[in-house]
């Protein structure tokens, strides 16, 4: 057996661990709910799902004063350091959020008072998600990974921390995804709120902290693959010099270049490291500007 492989005309953009997100606010910490569009709890009606825990939000606690810090200055420092690290190695491993706390809620009704990770009626896309995304229903040592390609999203699962046992659990064409929002109120970095074309939605996250979750990197914006031969000579020169600098690159796979929201180009190079149970596929990366120079660090690009 071997890890999942794409079709011949499909480009793999990312592979990493994935799970239903977990509440971060005090009232819903460690909890998650599955609801229909009217807000009813539907976990007992999800076809084929094993039994899972039932949760009740904690009553509001007396608010305690919170000491504020110079957040702008800290984030500015993080950006400077992250840019320096990206320039040194392009590991894609550094960009903190607002410290260790979950940050500021973007959707208090669904993050502070409640925490639905599925919202959809019977037959909806969201209700078709696999139960193996729920850590509370999986056996110890079971992992789920999301594979993002230029055409679809595939959820695979495997036992015993062994990706060679990949089993396809679910897949969907990217055309069925209406939007993906970066949700920053989280204790694991950033999470993904995925809205489907039928109006249903889900909230997914890495099961452990990520400074940059590559699944979200390639879902938060439409993917625009950029053929290397349409780049300017200077841009192509930078791409080649960066690829050559990745000494453990997988020579069987071409580098992937995508246009990012800032207008820069992201170069990603697959290494020879095997698929890892906790973080999936590792790709070294760098950014190149329109002028063909190393691009400055922009959190929205990665």
pLDDT tens, residue by residue, 1-27: 789 999 999 999 999 999 999 999 999
pLDDT in tens, 112-138: 999 999 999 999 999 999 999 999 999
119 & 141 share domain: yes
Structural domain boundaries, residue 143? 12-44+96-215
127 & 179 share domain: yes
28 & 156 share domain: yes
Partners of 286 in beta bridges = 267
In the numeric block, the tokens 């950006």 are attached to 79
Q: Which of 215, 250, 270 is the last residue of a domain?
A: 215
117 & 159 share domain: yes
21 & 104 share domain: yes
- For residue 35, what pLDDT is reported? 99
pLDDT in tens, 239-296: 999 999 999 999 999 999 999 999 999 999 999 999 999 999 999 999 999 999 999 8
- For residue 296, what pLDDT is reported? 87
Q: Which residues of 264-284 are buried (b: 16+ CB within 10 A; e: fewer)?
A: bbbbbbbeeeebbbebbbbbb
For residues 94 and 82, give the distance between their C-alpha atoms in angstroms, rounded to a whole number: 6
Band (97; pLDDT cuts 50, 70, 90): very low
Compute CA 212 distance to the chain's CA centroid, rounded to the nearest angstrom.
Answer: 8
Number of compact structural domains in the chain: 2
> pTM for this one?
0.87
pLDDT in tens, 140-163: 999 999 999 999 999 999 999 999
């Amino acid at each position: 057996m071997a890890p999942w492989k794409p079709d011949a005309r499909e480009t793999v953009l990312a592979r990493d661990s994935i799970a239903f997100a977990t509440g971060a606010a005090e009232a819903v910490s460690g909890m998650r709910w599955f609801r229909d569009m009217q807000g009813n709890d539907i976990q007992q009606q999800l076809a084929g799902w094993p039994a899972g825990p039932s949760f009740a939000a904690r009553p509001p606690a007396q608010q305690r004063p919170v000491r504020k810090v110079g957040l702008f200055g800290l984030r500015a420092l993080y950006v400077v350091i992250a840019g320096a690290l990206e320039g040194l190695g392009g590991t894609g491993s550094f960009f903190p959020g607002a410290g260790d706390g979950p940050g500021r809620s973007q959707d208090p009704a669904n993050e502070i008072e409640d925490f639905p990770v599925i919202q959809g009626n019977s037959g909806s896309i969201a209700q078709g998600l696999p139960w193996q995304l729920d850590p509370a229903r999986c056996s110890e040592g079971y992992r789920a990974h999301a594979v993002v390609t230029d055409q679809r999203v595939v959820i695979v699962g495997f036992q015993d921390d062994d990706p060679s046992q990949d089993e396809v659990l679910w897949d969907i064409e990217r055309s069925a995804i209406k939007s993906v929002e970066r949700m920053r109120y989280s204790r694991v970095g950033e999470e993904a709120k995925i809205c489907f074309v039928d109006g249903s939605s889900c909230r997914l996250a890495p099961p452990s902290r990520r400074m940059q979750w590559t699944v979200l990197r390639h879902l938060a914006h439409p993917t625009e693959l950029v053929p290397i031969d349409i780049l300017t000579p200077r841009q192509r020169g930078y791409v080649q010099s960066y690829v050559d600098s990745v000494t453990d690159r997988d020579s069987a796979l071409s580098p992937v270049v995508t246009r990012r929201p800032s207008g820069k180009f992201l170069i990603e190079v697959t290494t020879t490291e095997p698929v890892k149970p906790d973080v999936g596929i590792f790709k070294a990366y760098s950014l190149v500007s329109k002028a063909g120079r190393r691009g400055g660090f922009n959190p929205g690009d990665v």
